[in-house]
Amino acid sequence: MGGRLSFLRRKRAKQAATVPDAVPTVVEAPPPPPPEVFDSTTFWEALKGILRFRLPQGSDLVPIDKSTLHIHDATKLSDDELDDVKEVSKALGDRLTTKKEDAAMELFTYALSLLAIGNTVAACDEFVNVIATDPSFGRAYTNLAHTLLLDTQDDPATLERVVGYLESALKYDDMEIRENTILLAEVQSLLGNHAAALDVYGRLTDVEKEWENVFHMARCEWALGRFDKSIALLDTLQLDANDAMDPSMSNKRLVLADAEALFMRPHGGADVAAS
């Protein structure tokens, strides 16, 4: 028996050696990057300091005192600014008083300064002086007409003056031709001259560009008793997807809703009642 293997040992010896499972390779995470070191003289350190509401080290800048900040409406003059305008206006008035000759541009500037401080009556007087000095000064006609309408829209005599000034503005002022044309049509309508208003609208190219023009023309046609033309004009006014959401189109939505109610047309459908 010496040197011989037992049956069990022989059986075990004949079996294939078991291959051990592969040991999974452990992937080591890369080491974290070293922390950024900012040099106090670099742009990044300065930016980092600003974002953290801190000044860069060694900076001689003085931080802003937020308690002294004052936010005001940019469309309105502050008390200090109003005082400055009043001072300039007075200086212009004094200069015009002492000058031997009249200068239209200086008179016009003086009128604008009066208008800026709310003295519309004096501003209108100075615009008239500008026109007397230079009858071709177009901006004076425009500003005079617009300023007169600030104070009254129901005095026939004033409205007749505005019509004349706007006609002259259209002749001499090429800066606001479309705006003055539309305003002239509206003033003619205020005077009850609806046919004249429609004639003025006829001077405009792409009159339907402003939906208000179409609505106003419809009102003029209605006032003249031409109801079919008025309704046809109102029918051209439609709300698109943008108009339905745009806050600036709220007036248009109200106008169209009133028109639909007047014609008894639910949701823009056909007439359900005869007029």
Nearest to 148 by CA among 159, 133, 156: 159
Nearest to 215 by CA among 200, 199, 197, 233: 233
> What percent of the chain clears pLDDT 90, i.e. is strictly above it?
33
Give the Cα separation of 1 and 85 in Å (integer).
128
Which residue has 């502050």 as its token pair? 78
Using 50, 70 and 90 to split pLDDT, how confident is the model at 199?
very high
> In the prediction, which pLDDT does 272 show?
38
> In the prediction, which pLDDT does 235 show?
85
Give the Cα separation of 224 and 230 in Å (integer).
9
Q: Which amino acid is at 255?
A: V
pLDDT above 90 (res 273): no
> In the prediction, which pLDDT does 1 show?
45
Contacts of 203 (CB under 8 A, 6+ apart): 181
Tens digit of each residue's pLDDT (9 = 90 or more) over 40-49: 555 555 555 5
Tens digit of each residue's pLDDT (9 = 90 or more) over 64-123: 666 666 665 666 666 667 667 767 666 666 665 555 455 788 889 989 989 888 899 999
Using 50, 70 and 90 to split pLDDT, how confident is the model at 252?
confident
b/e burial code for range 142-172 (CB count within 10 A of at least 16 → b): bbbbbbbbeeeeeeeeebebbbebbebbbeb
pLDDT above 50 (res 5): no
